């Protein structure tokens, strides 16, 4: 094995780069680590700044209350449905539209693309949007999370750029000679070759649905339809840490306040854990997909 000898300048650069990357990693990782140790530490010690590197007064009372709170499980159920169904609809609409807009044979594609892009800079605003959704009868229904926001124009542009620049024109011409239609080419050739792009866009859509609370805040009044993020918001803002309202007052108010921070941090972990678990499985596609649209030499 031949080892390359590094010059003094190259070695100094690598050491500086390693130190810089380590500092950036610690800046990003420490808040996540602090949330984990704070979720199992005594809330009094956390609020007084005594918990920095290691948990103190370890207790899993917060997690026990979280898993006993029916609101959390109801929010999980709703959010899982909104996220899975919403992401599926997003991909079913975005990918075919992007493919059609990438075909040069489709003459109106530039006009339609301009109309799509126009909506990125100008829209009707909240009140007209609310009136439209109300007239469509989707207030207080699960469909308000799925149908009205089925296309993100930015992701549509990414997908169109991928289909237009990455898939060779000769590939379609060869398939067309064999009698392949656009639909068959899209489903059997274009989609299998676009796993990286689909994974990245799907992950973006998924995270957007998972973190969405504004839609529920505006259009949902039924507590049984609230997503997890609204329930998390209520807990963080109102300290209503128990399903019977003990955190907001009552005989158990002091007991609840003692573990309020512990439960808050625990809810943050519980609500973000599914996305953290999913990301490693999509990482290899994500690394490829983030280069979509970059300058190619």
pLDDT, tens digit, 9 for 90 and up, residues 128-144? 888 888 888 888 888 88
Query: Residue 192 has which token pair?
Result: 């299998």
- Res 245: pLDDT: 46
Q: How confident is the model at residue 59 (pLDDT cuts 50, 70, 90)?
A: confident
162 class by beta-carbon count within 10 Å (0-12 exposed, 13-18 middle, 19+ buried): buried
- Taking the mean position of all CA atoms in its chain, how far away is CA 41? 28
pLDDT, tens digit, 9 for 90 and up, residues 242-265? 444 444 444 444 445 556 667 777
167: helix, coil or strand?
coil
Range among 11-25, 63-77, 231-245, 268-282 with highest mean pLDDT value: 11-25
Higher pLDDT, 86 or 172: 86
Nearest to 262 by CA among 64, 33, 31, 32: 64
DSSP-derived secondary structure letter, 194: G
The string of DSSP codes covering 80-109 is HHHHHHHHHHHHHHHHHHHHHHH-TT-TTH
């Amino acid at each position: 094995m031949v080892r390359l000898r590094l010059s003094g300048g190259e070695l100094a650069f690598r050491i500086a780069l390693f130190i810089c990357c380590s500092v950036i990693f610690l800046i990003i990782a420490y808040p996540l680590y602090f949330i984990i140790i704070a979720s199992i530490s005594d809330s009094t010690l956390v609020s007084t700044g005594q918990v920095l590197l290691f948990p103190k007064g370890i207790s899993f009372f917060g997690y026990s209350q979280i898993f006993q709170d029916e609101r959390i499980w109801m929010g999980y159920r709703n959010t899982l449905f909104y996220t899975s169904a919403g992401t599926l609809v997003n991909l079913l609409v975005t990918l075919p539209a992007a493919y059609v807009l990438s075909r040069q044979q489709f003459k109106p594609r530039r006009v339609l693309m301009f109309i799509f892009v126009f909506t990125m800079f100008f829209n009707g605003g909240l009140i007209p949007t609310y009136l439209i959704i109300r007239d469509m009868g989707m207030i207080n229904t699960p469909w308000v999370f799925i149908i009205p926001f089925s296309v993100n124009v930015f992701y549509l542009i990414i997908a169109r750029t991928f289909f237009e620049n990455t898939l060779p024109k000769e590939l379609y011409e060869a398939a067309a000679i064999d009698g392949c239609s656009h639909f068959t080419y899209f489903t059997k050739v274009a989609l299998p070759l676009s796993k990286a792009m689909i994974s990245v866009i799907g992950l973006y859509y998924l995270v957007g649905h998972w973190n969405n609370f504004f839609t529920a805040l505006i259009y949902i009044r039924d507590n049984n339809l609230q997503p997890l993020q609204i329930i998390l918001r209520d807990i963080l803002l109102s300290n209503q840490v128990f399903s019977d309202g003990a955190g907001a007052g009552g005989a158990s108010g002091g007991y609840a306040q003692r573990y309020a921070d512990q439960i808050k941090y625990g809810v943050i972990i519980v609500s973000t854990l599914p996305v953290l678990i999913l990301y490693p499985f999509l990482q290899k596609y994500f690394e490829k997909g983030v280069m979509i649209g970059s300058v190619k030499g």
